[in-house]
Amino acid sequence: MKTEIVFALLMLISISCKHQNKDLAKEAAQQKEALEQSGNNPIIRNIRTADPSTHVWKDGKVWMYTSHDMEDAVNYSTMDGYHAFSSTDMVNWTDHGEVLHSRNIPWGSKGWMWAPTAIHKNNKYYLMYPHAANGTKNMKCGIAVSDTPQGPFKDLGWIEGVEGQWLDPCVFTDDKDGKTYLYWGVREPKVALLEDNLLALAEPPRTIEYGSDNFFEAIYMHKRKGKYYLSYNAGLGGFYAMADNPYGPFDYKGAINPKQRQDHHSIIEYKGQNYFFYHVQDWNGGTKFRRNTCIEYLYYNEDGTIQKIYATKKGVKKVTD
């Protein structure tokens, strides 16, 4: 009799453990699913943001300038201004509001405020931006200045010699000699040294050799351990090439984030970790005209090449000091 009771008790314990294990597994799966759905990407949710240009300025914060997609957009013409955001932990972002609007650009059309780029130089903060000139769809490269990273930015006109159907400028200062270069172009990447005051090109533009023919738009330049990385959108995904100087020729390296509907991106190191900023088109009713900015970790291989990156809902974790 006693043995039967003990056996029955053991059976009960075993059944209850099995249930508990099942419950725990179910809970873990639910948590995983919830995390996937409500992870940290996209990082900005109060408005639609695209084309992130990201920087670590001298206040030690990450500053991000984005273009602004409208909720009812059916093309890119209604993008009418830039927003500035800052963060110290990659998860909590302060929206500093609109820092430049098309109404404040006397030479420009309403809307058409496309992918911006930014730089800190000569103790000022500058935005450079592709914008349609008055009454046309022809884009020029505007330049605006502010004493503070959060703006507002004041338009200073445009940079002569940088024009096109669209441009996607990227401004870059070489830490080797403090020289600043402007990269831009659609289907054909271009580069030119800028004057020290940034208001004009200091030389005729050069076409960049990058070892492939898949360049489309959204050029980006960054430097790490003496190597220059030219990255861009090739239509479906970001690709890159490396060189030992800012002009190239660059050595083609292939995809960063293959087969993904992403065009503009920027890359920074913050508190010892590398990050890839980009935008997606599929969040909460998103489209190619209603985009949202996201972040992923970026890792380099020993030889300096970049490991492939895939878009996640999870994004990146909060940085602690």
Question: Token pair for residue 42?
Answer: 């996209």
CA dihedral 198, 201, 206, 207 (to 10 degrees): 60
Q: Which is nearer to ligand FUB, 100 or 270 (CB)?
A: 100
- Structure token pair of residue 122: 């000569």
Choice from 52, 111, 130, 238 touching ligand FUB (CB under 6 A): 130
Closest CA to 86 of 114, 54, 115: 54
Q: Is 296 noted as a catalytic residue in this protein?
A: no
User: Which of the following is catalytic: 168, 217, 263, 296?
Assistant: 217
Is 262 among the residues that bind ligand FUB (CB under 6 A)? no
- 80, 98, 263, 296: which one contacts ligand FUB (CB under 6 A)? 263
Tell me whether residue 217 is one of the annotated catalytic residues. yes
Phi, psi of 81 (to 5 degrees): -175, 175
Residues 166-205: x where in contact with ligand FUB by CB under 6 A, - otherwise, as a string: x-x-------------------------------------
Q: Evaluate whether 113 touches 103 at the Cβ level (below 8 Å).
A: no
Identity (one letter) of the amino acid at 154?
A: K
Name the nearest CA neighbour of 124 among 144, 141, 140. 144
Beta strand pairing call for 190-193 and 180-184: antiparallel
What is the smallest separation between the CB atom of 280 and ligand FUB, expressed in angstroms? 13
* 51 belongs to the binding site for ligand FUB (CB under 6 A): yes
Pairing between β-strand 154-164 and β-strand 108-113 as defined by DSSP bridges: unpaired
CB 167 → ligand FUB: shortest distance, Å? Answer: 7
Structural contact between residues 219 and 204, judged by C-beta atoms closer than 8 angstroms: no
**Total residues binding ligand FUB (CB under 6 A):** 12
Indicate the residue among 186 and 241 with the shorter CB distance to ligand FUB.
186
The residue within the footprint of ligand FUB, chosen from 50, 73, 171, 219 (CB under 6 A), is 50
Report, in Å, the least distance between residue 289 CB and ligand FUB: 9
User: Residues 115, 309, 313, CA angle at the centre, nearest 5°?
Assistant: 80
Shortest Å distance, C-beta 306 to ligand FUB: 21
**From 65, 82, 114, 250, residue interacting with ligand FUB (rule: CB under 6 A):** 114
* Shortest distance (Å) from residue 69 CB to ligand FUB: 8
Report the alpha-carbon distance of residue 283 to residue 43 in Å, rounded: 11
The least CB distance from residue 236 to ligand FUB, in Å, is: 13
Contacting residue, 67, 109, 117, 266, with ligand FUB by CB under 6 A: 67
Rounded CA-CA distance 283/119 in Å is 29
Distance of CA 257 to the CA centre of its chain: 13
Regarding 141 and contact with ligand FUB (CB under 6 A), the answer is no
Residues that bind ligand FUB (CB under 6 A): 50-51, 67, 76, 114-115, 130, 166, 168, 217-218, 263
Catalytic positions, written as ranges: 51, 217
